[in-house]
């Protein structure tokens, strides 16, 4: 959910918004709208590499989906002037953290993965995902000295 305050009166999707109104944009719901996403609840990361059909009256096909706030069907970092200033850092950090964790550990789950969500700011899981990590090498720092291992 991101919030904005209207400065002037405007019309959004046929609704008149008076000035000085606090508005909440439900980006969670937009990202799960079946009008734009095929089987939106299916965990299929590959969908982000496939063309996507979007738009209401005059559909267009995008060859990729941009996360930086230009494609409004997917706004993980918000959009416009108050969009997330940490976006570039977050994108680089995520890649580095996930890559290092996969390089250093094997992950074992005790139960099957339940993707159901509970309410919260960051879409937390309804059932916590408990993992057991197994080190993939004697010592992670050894990798720095012997990268070929």
Which residues are at the interface with ligand HEM (CB under 6 A)?
Answer: 2, 76-79, 82-86, 89-90
Nearer to ligand HEM, 4 or 143 (CB): 4
Nearest distance from C-beta of residue 1 to ligand HEM, angstroms: 9
Q: Which two tokens stand for residue 69?
A: 């706030």
Give the other-Cβ count within 10 Å of 74's Cβ. 19
Nearest distance from C-beta of residue 81 to ligand HEM, angstroms: 7
| Rg over CA atoms, the chain | 20
- Report the SS3 class of residue 95: helix
Question: For residues 67 and 95, is the Cβ–Cβ distance under 8 A?
Answer: no
Nearer to ligand HEM, 23 or 129 (CB): 23
CA neighbours within 13 Å on the CB side: how many for 91?
9
What is the rounded distance in angstroms from the CA atom of residue 102 to the CA atom of residue 83?
A: 30
Nearer to ligand HEM, 5 or 145 (CB): 5
CA neighbours within 13 Å on the CB side: how many for 79?
13
Annotated binding residue at 131?
no
Nearest distance from C-beta of residue 14 to ligand HEM, angstroms: 23
Nearest distance from C-beta of residue 67 to ligand HEM, angstroms: 9
List the alpha helices (DSSP H) in 8-137: 27-30, 87-104
Nearer to ligand HEM, 71 or 143 (CB): 71
Binding-site sequence positions = 84
Binding-site sequence positions for heme = 84
């Amino acid at each position: 959910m991101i919030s904005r305050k209207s400065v002037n009166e405007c019309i959004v999707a046929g609704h008149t918004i008076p000035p000085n109104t606090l508005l909440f944009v439900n980006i969670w719901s937009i990202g799960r709208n079946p009008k734009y996403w095929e089987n939106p609840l299916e965990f299929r990361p590959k969908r982000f590499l496939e063309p996507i059909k979007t738009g209401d009256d005059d559909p267009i096909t995008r060859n990729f989906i941009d996360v930086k706030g230009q494609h409004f069907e997917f706004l993980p970092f918000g959009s416009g002037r108050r969009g997330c200033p940490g976006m570039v850092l977050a994108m680089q950090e995520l890649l580095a953290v996930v890559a290092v964790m996969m390089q250093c550990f094997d992950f074992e789950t005790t139960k099957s993965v339940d993707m159901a969500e509970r309410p919260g700011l960051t879409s937390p899981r309804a059932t916590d995902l408990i993992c057991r990590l197994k080190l993939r090498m004697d010592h992670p720092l050894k990798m720095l000295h012997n990268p070929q291992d």
